[in-house]
Amino acid sequence: MLSRRRAAVAAIGGTVAGLMLVLTAGAAHAAPPTTPTAASTPAASVPGYCGYYDGSATTRRGDVGDRVREIQCLINYWNGGTPLDVDGDFGPRTESWVVYFQDVNGLAVDGVVGPQTWGALRAL
């Protein structure tokens, strides 16, 4: 008799666990998407512009400042996460992500953010 009771409790537990999975999965899909943190994207309310720089001057490894922050922020937005620190330093990691972005988007792969790459980043 004890084993029948254990079997019944296990069956009920399995059913409850299954219902919980269904309910939590439904709730996860109903929840609004999370917004990026202020450290990664200061003003990403408009796709294609993060609030650091709105021009299209050629930017490359070794450059620093708001142009680089804008590139890093846009790459983070494009990637759907925060692969880059938005620190304004166009170093090897930023260059690597620019090369990857250019390759994936069918652009000339040179690691330099010129007018075509700016256009593709802003068209997100």
pLDDT digits (tens, 9 = 90+) for 46-79: 468 999 999 999 999 999 999 999 999 999 999 8
Of 103 and 18, more confident: 103
Would you list the domain boundaries of the chain?
1-31, 36-124
- The 3-state DSSP class for residue 36 equals coil
Q: Which architecture, in CATH terms, is 36-124?
A: Orthogonal Bundle (1.10)
Query: Mean pLDDT across the stretch 5-12?
Result: 54
Q: Report CA-CA distances (Å) from 15 to 26, 33, 111, 120.
A: 17, 29, 54, 49
| Cα–Cα distance for residue pair 107/27, rounded to 1 Å | 39
| Cα–Cα distance for residue pair 39/53, rounded to 1 Å | 16
Confirm if 58 and 112 have CB atoms less than 8 A apart: yes
Q: What is the pTM of this model?
A: 0.63
Q: Closest Cα to residue 48, out of 81, 70, 16?
A: 70
